[in-house]
Amino acid sequence: MLSVTLVTGIGELTTNDPQVGDGSALGVLRDAAVVVQDGRIAWLGPAARNPAADTAIDLDGAAVVPGFVDSHTHLVFAGDRSVEFTARMAGEPYDGGGIAATVAATRAAGEDELRGLLSRRIAQARAQGTTTCEVKSGYGLDVATEVRMLRLATEVTPETTFLGAHVVPAAASRHDYIELVTGGMLAACRPYARWGDVFCEPGSPHAFDADEARTVLGACAAAGLGLRVHGNQLGPGPGVQVAVELDAASVDHCTYLTDADVDALAGGATVATLLPGVEFSTRSPYPDAARLLAAGVTVALASDCNPGTCCSSSMPFGIALAVREMGMTPAQALWSATAGGALALRRDDIGVLRPGARADLCVLDAPTYAHLAYRPGMAIARALELPDRGLTAGRADRLRTWR
Ligand code: NIG
Ligand code: FE
């Protein structure tokens, strides 16, 4: 029989369920407990009323939030582009040209090397409180390497994205490469992918324009993939409009938006996913989250962890940037990094803590979630490992620093 675990001593529980607790969008409950069975939440409520369980984990007053949903990463890659980063900090612009270096390193890496790199990156993300990662291909740009990237990604997440249309590889003609991406490469990658994505950025000589993006996304949709778009990263462009028109689940970056883009997002079902680590690491202007929220757009925050534009998977870092630089409150930023990410993946079983949802808990070494932005750069968030998930059981060993 499956064991039942009680997680108690939660000083502040953020559920993202407005029916619970303080009635806000975050559904915050004080002095709470959660009961977990078979990896799902069986019960949550006041600690004083918790039901019996086989095992108890006492968090001694810590805050708990839903595990971060990082809906945009490129965690399968080999190589290092710190030289490119250093040049950028000295004034070089980013145009996507450096992707070729990662493609060369990723093609040259063995499967075991890539698997090891990926599993260490997933462990790093969990150590910072992330419990769901989307993972893209796009550093292979040939059939064998794109398939390998996606097959490895399926070993760590169901949220896998075919990004053969990341850039046109050196020496290929645009026309021939798009034929490959929408033909043989898509067919080979399809069994390993849930989503299809395209880098729609006519300002980059390496990426794809609106018509090319429609061709790629149309083929992906016809193959049964859900759609996502990299758009409006380097300047104003058609990415948002194409994404909304094709009912993509998310359009990611959204750094440069016109009023028409904001209106389209407000009127459609496409989530605007903001990636503030990219603006930090490319020294670019930050997107205006407050403008999107005021217009009623659903906003997600994700890391975009990749070797070029943001070599960090830290969601707390993204939350701190979103609050400091993008006009979000700590509550809005937390919601976007959890519930917003879940909507960007069209999932209702993550990003929220309620009976039936996955028991993806993030424990903070803090009395309240506001510390995610208040104490930037501090290692205060971690995914809680539960015995039901076959991971480490036992006490909540941690170094308490906040009182
Ligand atoms: O999301 N913009 C396109 N793709 C990635 C960066 C890829 C790279 O430079 O390696 C991004 O920023
Ligand atoms: Fe990306």
Top mutation candidate among 199, 252, 274 for ligand 1, by most atoms within 8 Å of CB:
199
Give residues with Cβ within 8 angstroms of 306, minimum separation 6: 73, 74, 77, 102
Q: Which residue has the tokens 């918790």?
A: 50
Residue nearest to atom 5 of ligand 1 (CA): 309
Q: Is the pLDDT of residue 390 over 70?
A: no
Neighbours of 118 (CB within 10 A): 21
**Which numbered atom of ligand 1 lies nearest the CA of 234?**
2
Q: Is the pLDDT of residue 177 over 90?
A: yes
Q: Is the pLDDT of residue 393 over 70?
A: no
For 27-61, give the DSSP string: -EEEEEEEEEETTEEEEEEEGGGPPP-SEEEEEEE
334 near 33, Cβ under 8 Å?
no
Residue nearest to atom 11 of ligand 1 (CA): 309
Instruction: Give the span between the Cα atoms of 159 and 132, in whole angstroms.
Output: 8
Residue 352 token pair: 């929220």
Distance (angstroms) between ligand 2 centre and the Cα of 369 equals 27
Structure confidence at residue 171 (pLDDT): 87
Q: Is the pLDDT of residue 62 over 70?
A: yes
Instruction: Give the span between the Cα atoms of 210 and 242, in whole angstroms.
Output: 7
Instruction: Return mean pLDDT, the chain.
Output: 95
276 near 309, Cβ under 8 Å?
no
The neighbourhood of ligand 2, an ion, using CB within 5 A, equals 304
Query: Higher pLDDT residue, 315 or 393?
Result: 315
Backbone angles phi, psi at 149, to 5 degrees: -60, -45
Structure confidence at residue 394 (pLDDT): 39
Q: Is the pLDDT of residue 2 over 80?
A: no
Q: What is the mean pLDDT of residues 241-257?
A: 98
**Domains along the sequence of the chain with CATH:** 4-67+352-390 (2.30.40.10), 68-344 (3.20.20.140)
**Which numbered atom of ligand 1 lies nearest the CA of 304?**
1
- The ligand with the least distance to the CA atom of 255 is 1
Instruction: Give the span between the Cα atoms of 52 and 320, in whole angstroms.
Output: 38
Top mutation candidate among 306, 312, 313 for ligand 1, by most atoms within 8 Å of CB:
306
Residue nearest to atom 10 of ligand 1 (CA): 308
| DSSP conformation class of 143 | H
Distance (angstroms) between ligand 2 centre and the Cα of 82 equals 17
Distance (angstroms) between ligand 2 centre and the Cα of 27 equals 31
List 36's β-bridge partners, or say none: 5, 41
Neighbours of 370 (CB within 10 A): 18
Confidence band of 392 (pLDDT split at 50, 70, 90): very low
Top mutation candidate among 77, 309, 310 for ligand 1, by most atoms within 8 Å of CB:
309
Instruction: Give the span between the Cα atoms of 364 and 373, in whole angstroms.
Output: 12
Neighbours of 158 (CB within 10 A): 12
Greatest Cα pair distance in the chain: 66
The set of protein residues with a Cβ atom below 6 angstroms from ligand 1 is 96, 98-99, 102, 199, 230, 233, 278, 304, 306-309
List 248's β-bridge partners, or say none: none
Residue nearest to atom 7 of ligand 1 (CA): 308
Structure confidence at residue 398 (pLDDT): 44
Instruction: Give the span between the Cα atoms of 135 and 77, in whole angstroms.
Output: 11
| Percentage above 90 pLDDT, the chain | 94
Of 332, 240, 319, 244, the residue nearest 277 (C-alpha): 319
Sign of CA dihedral 291, 292, 296, 302: negative
